[in-house]
Chains A and B, each alone.
Chain A
Amino acid sequence: DTAVSQTPKYLVTQMGNDKSIKCEQNLGHDTMYWYKQDSKKFLKIMFSYNNKELIINETVPNRFSPKSPDKAHLNLHINSLELGDSAVYFCASSHQDRLYYNEQFFGPGTRLTVL
Chain B
Amino acid sequence: AQSVTQLGSHVSVSEGALVLLRCNYSSSVPPYLFWYVQYPNQGLQLLLKYTTGATLVKGINGFEAEFKKSETSFHLTKPSAHMSDAAEYFCAVSRYGNNRLAFGKGNQVVVIP
**In the bound complex, do residue B51 and residue A101 qualify as a contact, i.e. CB atoms below 8 Å apart?**
yes
Tell me the interface secondary structure of chain B in the complex.
Answer: strand
Residues of A within 8 A of B43 (CB): 4, 90, 106-109
Interface size band for B: 20 to 34
Asked if A113 is at the interface of the complex by the 8 Å CB criterion, the answer is no
**In the bound complex, do residue A41 and residue B34 qualify as a contact, i.e. CB atoms below 8 Å apart?**
no
**In the bound complex, do residue B100 and residue A103 qualify as a contact, i.e. CB atoms below 8 Å apart?**
no
**In the bound complex, do residue A104 and residue B101 qualify as a contact, i.e. CB atoms below 8 Å apart?**
yes
* Distance of A89 from chain B, by nearest CB (Å): 11
Looking at the complex, which one of B46, B51, B90, B98 makes contact with A43 (CB distance below 8 Å)?
Answer: B90
CA of A55 to CA of B97 in the docked complex: distance in angstroms? 13
Residues of B within 8 A of A40 (CB): 105
* Distance of B113 from chain A, by nearest CB (Å): 24
Can you list, as one digit per residue, whether each of B96-108 has a CB less than 8 Å from chain A (1) or not (0)? 1111110101101
* Distance of B23 from chain A, by nearest CB (Å): 14
Asked if B112 is at the interface of the complex by the 8 Å CB criterion, the answer is no
Residues of A within 8 A of B97 (CB): 98
Looking at the complex, which one of A42, A56, A90, A108 makes contact with B100 (CB distance below 8 Å)?
Answer: A56
Interface CB pairs A-B, < 8 A, 19: A4-B43, A33-B99, A41-B88, A41-B108, A42-B106, A43-B106, A45-B100, A50-B99, A55-B99, A90-B44, A96-B99, A98-B96, A101-B32, A101-B51, A102-B94, A104-B101, A105-B46, A109-B42, A109-B43
Q: A55-B99, A106-B43, A106-B44 are in contact. List 20 more A-B contacts (CB 8 A).
A: A41-B88, A41-B106, A42-B105, A43-B90, A43-B103, A43-B106, A48-B99, A48-B100, A56-B99, A90-B44, A101-B32, A101-B49, A101-B96, A103-B46, A106-B36, A106-B45, A107-B43, A108-B42, A108-B43, A109-B42
